Amino acid sequence: GAEAVAPGEVGGAMKTLAVQIKTLTGASYPLEVAEGATIADLKALVVARDPALEGTKLNLYQGGRKLGKDDEVYDARSGSFLTLVFSKAKRKREDNKVAKVKKTTANNSPVVDPEVARQRKEMAFSALQDALEKKEVSACSCSRPTKAKQPAAKRRLTSIKAIVQKLPLPDGLADLNNRFQELSVVVGFLYQQGLQPTMSGLQRVLPSLDEPAIIMMRAFAPGVVTTRKVCGSAMYSDASRGKLGATHGALAETGTSYEEGPSDSRPSSEAESIVNLHVPCAGSSPRTPRQNPLESQQLEWQTVTGGMTYGGLVYSKEVSEHQQAAASALPALIQGSRRSSQTIGPAGLSSPKSYEKGKIASEMKQCVLRWQSFFKQALLEVALIMHDDFMDARTDGQGHDPLEELCWHPDFAPGSAAEILKVARRSLARESRLARKRPKGSGELKGTFKPCKAASDMDVESFTAHLIHKAAAGTESRSAYLKEIPGRPLKSDGIPFEDLFCEEVGRALGSIGIHKLYSHQERAVQAVGRGENVIITTPTASGKSICYNVPVLDGLLQSRATALYVFPTKALAQDQLRALHMLCKDVAGLELNQIGVFDGDTPKAAREELVANARILICNPDILHVTLLPRHKDYKDFFSRLRYIVLDEAHAYRGVFGSHVALVIRRLRRILERTWCVTAQFFLSSATIANSVVHAQNLTGVDEWTTVTNDGSPCGDKMFLLWNPPLKESAKRNRKKLQEKKMQADACDAKLDKADVGPNHKFEAWRGRQLQRREGRRADERLEQNGSTRERLSPIMEMGMLLAECVQHNLKSIAFCKTRKLSELVLQYARSVLDGLDSPHGKAIAAYRAGYSAQHRRAIEGSLFSGNLRGVAATNALELGIDVGALDVTLHLGFPGTVSSLWQQAGRAGRRERKALSIYVAFDGALDQYFMKNPEKLFEAPVEHASIDYQNPMLLEAHACCASHELPLLAEGEESDVNYFGSTLSSAAVALQKRGLLGRNPDCPTADPRWFYIGGGKAGRGPASEVNLRAIDETVWTVVDDMTEEVVEEVEESKAFFQVYEGAVYMHQGKKFLVTKLEMGARIAKVRRADLKYYTSIRQHTDIAVTGGQAAYDTDRVHLPSTTTSSSVVPLGSSARLEPARHSVSFVSFMKVWQATGKVFDTVDLNLPKVEYDTVCSFIRVPDKARALLERDGKELRAGIHAASHALLNVLPLYLMCNSQDAGVECVNENETRWRPERLLIYDKQPGGTGISSQVRPLFGNILRAARELVDQCPCREESGCPGCVHHGDCPQYNAVLDKSAALVVLDAVLEAEEAWMGEEEQCK
């Protein structure tokens, strides 16, 4: 190779160019080339200068582009250079020929002349041709004549794309196709700029384009061309009449915004025609009308009316002369309205992102070509239908197929475009022979279960039978179990309304269609009327809101009292506000503006007036904690008249969050009783829980409660179907092989037992077989545990197909998923299936999850309630009691974690005596598969307890500090605040004094028993602003569309890198975005719309690093909170340590997974910062004896430690009031091979710790013995255990790598070591 430096001027006259050649060996020589010389001339000069290069191939490159022989040797830009490459391939071929000749000579063989060899070769080919001709003649008499191979030009074309390219259009349609080509280039340019084409904007560039032409294009290809009239004012739009997404009028419905240009003087309410071009769905004809004329990828684009905004590369990729004419007119389209000072050249704008813009232009070119191909296909389909009718009408019997001949019959005359249009409209329902050809790549999602192609209405009962029949059609039935739960009739005591409440309330109930109360509603209203504190625990959709709304409304109408409603989420508060407005719209004595929501979204300017006028104030625990309680004196009028406190969805208040809320309610009671002398009446509503009264007492601090549990609301029959995706064929083969190997090993063992050999020989033989079995494969390759033997079809794909099946049969459904990404994937699969079936319901499904804006979630809720949406893929955000109307089917992807959550989700369907169906789709995990094999264990499982520990020392200190800021704290005396906060309040006050947060009265520290707050706070807001009830990240990452600069979504910082990283596929409402850039400092993720056939999955490692170095607590008897299950528990002592720890998540790589098959096809390494937080842990070491015992038995230590850790979590609620979200253990990934410390560790799952680990440490010995007893006494025979022993619903690794017998070995070894340690401690004493 050689390098040529930049050409330069010689003598300043531009007559010759000087080229300096430098070889890789260091030699150099100059060349002078005449101006205008070609590359061929330069090559000739190079060979003449260096004859040694004769016979080599010379290639010249400029800027990475290979120069042709006719290119001129000229480059006007300074600093550039030409690269000259010498290819010696030609010389090597000649040398190889000479070497072969020399080799033949050396072997004493005759040397063959090349000319003689060529003649021999021709003679051989001639003989072969003669033989083939004779074979063909002899085959003429055979029964199966051999058909001669046709020339390539006359072979039959089988693909739609090839036919569209080869078959010309009739004369009447060619002109329309040319006009569409012009239109497609302009629309492609506008789409690339992020602009929405309009009729007025298009006519500026294409004056020949008129509305009749657009109407004709739309009529021929309704799947490609769509139009819609919109206006700039919401009052003229269809969107303001209740359609999906109708928030900002018609332009909001199209996703566009009306922006007037400098020369646009039209009013914003003037109608405008929107023109869109689309690519038809896979497998559908371009003549198939689109059910929704709006494509999702145009939802963010601006509308072009009077002016345009130019912001990218000019799209001028010519494909034909008609496109070239349109491209030359593009600068006129933006002239005078461009907002950039950059000029437009023939190659576009020169900017740092020119390569990126060029890539976008190339992608848009491909899109334009697809539009043109599909439009031509639509025209050919119409012409083909007319041609078939023409041939059927002929009587001469001659046949002519345009698909084979690639031409039309000479006598075929379709007429003008207008005449063809009439035929096209009449034959819109007819399918041409061209449309019946299935395009390549349009296959359905892989899997044996396929939804029905024909959409038909079904009721729940017939749909269940239909589904079970389809599930049994394959080689392995998906229907694992069907549970029929009978319904219940309506129960009512028939108490007249006038005996329960005032006449005004009765009229309000009648206005919403309620003329009789259920029995549980009657009992609740009567109990509230008697002044009792009430807790009602009935299933979902039983009318619990009526139980408290009616007596509260009755009390407010008869007095000047106020009511406080507390809901766990903002969505529930807004839902209750709508219900109250509907109930009270005609009630005299209570204005609608006296009912309001006070939360973080309430404008600060409106808060004072809202609370001052409120009779019913709706809020959440967070705003009550941060704003209302610290400023209770500012809201004197409301709090001094507060009579009713309603806590809805009380079962949600559990664990650390529930403990926080319990302390907030105690602070509220303390303020009301000590400052305003008010004793409020409580009303709690909850789903079914095991300890309703105890939970109400712990949550509020009130002892006397009346419970209402017998549900009197009617309920239809419910069917619960367990759906287990079948095994893959490869998994079946691997399972069969392992069974055969196991049988062979057992036979060998039996033969060895009968043999007359010594015990040592038997042990050595057995040990050798064990090592041989483990050699070359993973140690956990067992029949039920190995992934290659239990790999099933994707449950996510099955879930999407089931959702599509429900929608096809007009059944309203919700698909519950554990994570946000799973809900988006289920939506993607369901839409892909529906689009592949050409179903009109592809746009009638949506996703619902956290991260969406409040307006977006409200729109989805309203659309589901009104029936505009038929299906929703949701997280547990829809688990709570938001009213979304009557549902028919609920789908559950995996076990949600608790039995109460499963029944809460299933209760969303089947309201008002309608039959309902719930389908539980199982993952491969051990917990789901256990329920598939033992379904009765699921339905017989008891509902969990709701646990609260309001005496948690860490939480108590935080809220005691907040309480002292609201009102001085009394920790001693008869009227002390111990009645609210418990007996440990005094020690908490002393601890706060040491931290400098509380102090006595300096004037009389001994006489005044009160504690005063003396600390600071954020911006003077007090200590409440520093106490987070939910441990929610206040810092978020913003996902921004790089093309439109619009905010797509916000993601919490702790979850950001699980969803957004460079190369990630981010999904939002079924749309896919490719993450292109992360701005770490600004916490912004730039994304771009992309049509991808895969999704990404992150690979990460979670580590708990112990950072401390000494034990923090002794092993003596410690105080236990009075809320524990057994207050007489005596710590047995243990060597467990309590240490600070650091929880860190490392992001290793991400995988690209094909959406249609679920196979990983690429893995990309990541370099992202760790997500870390400080916490506290309590741990105990696993002795080496456990490893030795398990290795002897051929078991894995990590499987035993993982199972034993789960057993510790399962028995932890017996000793501490905690939730599964409060404490965690180290879980093992089945694909993980790195070393882990051999220990049993429990840590606090919230930043800073929650006090759980500090209470675990002195009780570790008790917990170990309880866990050992739990595992030993569990009757299950599963090798991986069951939910009653070593499974845990919140395991992040889906209960993989578990071994029940190994867990017993680990626990026994730890307990034995603990007994030895206790003996040493006794000797030391």
- Rounded Cα distance between 201 and 193, Å, is 14
DSSP state at residue 1258? G
Dihedral sign from CA coordinates of 754, 758, 760, 764:
negative
Q: DSSP of 625-661, one letter per residue?
A: IIIITTTTTTTHHHHTTEEEEEE-SGGG--HHHHHHH
**Predicted pLDDT at 84:** 59
- How many beta carbons lie within 10 A of that of residue 244, not counting itself? 19
Rounded to whole angstroms, the Cα distance separating 1101 from 649 reads: 35
Q: What is the pLDDT of residue 472?
A: 77
pLDDT of residue 417: 72
Separation CA 1168–CA 845 (nearest Å)? 35
Q: How many Cα atoms are found within 13 Å in the side-chain-facing hemisphere of 1035?
A: 10
8 A C-beta contact, residue 652 and residue 1017: no
What does the alpha-carbon distance between residue 689 and residue 749 come to, in Å, rounded to a whole number?
Answer: 52
Predicted confidence at residue 690, as pLDDT, reads: 81
Residue in this structure with the two tokens 């001949």, named with its chain if needed? 405
Please give the pLDDT value at position 1320.
77
**How does 1163-1196 read in b/e, with b if 16+ C-beta sit within 10 Å?**
eeebebeebebebbbbbbebbeebbebbeeeebb
Angle at 715 between CA 710 and CA 720, to 5 degrees: 110
Angle at CA 958, nearest 5°, toward 956 and 963? 85
- Rounded CA Rg of the chain: 39
In angstroms, the CA 1178 to CA 732 distance is: 43
Question: 10-residue block means of pLDDT along the chain (1325 residues)?
Answer: 41 59 60 74 77 70 62 48 56 58 47 63 60 48 41 49 79 85 84 75 80 86 81 37 26 29 38 79 67 35 31 32 47 35 32 46 76 88 84 74 81 78 71 57 50 81 88 74 90 91 92 92 94 92 90 94 93 88 90 91 88 94 94 93 95 88 96 93 89 92 93 90 82 62 66 56 54 42 40 85 91 90 90 78 83 76 80 82 79 88 86 86 85 88 81 90 93 84 91 90 76 74 86 79 86 87 89 90 90 87 80 37 40 79 91 83 88 91 93 91 94 79 86 84 87 87 92 88 88 87 95 86 67
Q: Is 76 exposed, middle or buried (0-12, 13-18, 19+ CB in 10 A)?
A: exposed
How many CB atoms are closer than 10 A to CB 429? 6
pTM of model > 0.85: no
